[in-house]
């Protein structure tokens, strides 16, 4: 069986979060989407993000939910196929109401930039030059 990852993130407003990520070009699996959660498809059959309304998210943990706007709980990093894809996704995120927490980073063999979503979660996007990454 193919390994899959489901990153679960708490969100304050599910509809606004869905609209934000739809503006970046992501789709949602209706089978696992309702008023409490949305299954965002990042890579078909392998990478998903579950956007969970905070009250529903609380049912999965006994710990308090960290405010991603006040503290960094994680940075979700996604690989991209080009520098243009990195910049294009950041541009879409900013247009949809996100923020760029720092300037793009160019290491020669790797280029990265990222955005902060509506709930403050950090998303890093990275492109590695194939010949130099090997």
Phi-psi label, residue 97: left if phi above 0, alpha if psi -120 to 50, beta otherwise: left
List, in order of start, the domains of the chain with CATH numbers: 1-62 (3.10.180.10), 71-134 (3.10.180.10)
pTM above 0.85, yes or no: yes
* Burial (CB count <10 Å: 0-12, 13-18, 19+), residue 41: middle
pLDDT of residue 133: 59
DSSP-derived 3-state class of residue 87: helix
Predicted confidence at residue 134, as pLDDT, reads: 55
**Distance from C-alpha of 39 to C-alpha of 48, rounded to nearest angstrom:** 7
Token pair of 59 as six digits: 């049912």
Mean pLDDT of the chain: 95
pLDDT tens by residue, 89-123: 999 999 999 999 999 999 999 999 999 999 999 99
Confidence check: pLDDT of 37 > 80: yes
- Parallel, antiparallel, or unpaired for β 105-106 and 110-116? antiparallel
- Give mean pLDDT, residues 23-28: 98
């Amino acid at each position: 069986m193919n390994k899959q990852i489901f990153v679960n993130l708490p969100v304050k407003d599910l509809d606004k979060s869905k609209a934000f990520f739809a503006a970046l070009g992501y789709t949602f699996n209706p089978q696992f989407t309702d008023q409490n959660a949305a299954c965002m498809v990042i890579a078909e059959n392998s990478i998903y993000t579950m956007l969970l309304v905070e009250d529903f998210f609380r049912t999965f943990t006994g710990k308090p939910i960290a405010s991603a706007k006040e503290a960094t709980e994680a940075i979700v990093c996604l690989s991209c196929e080009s520098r243009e894809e990195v910049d294009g996704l950041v541009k879409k995120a900013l247009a949809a109401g996100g923020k760029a927490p720092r300037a793009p980073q160019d290491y020669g063999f790797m280029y990265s930039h990222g955005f902060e979503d509506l709930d403050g979660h950090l998303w890093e996007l990275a492109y590695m030059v194939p010949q130099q990454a090997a």
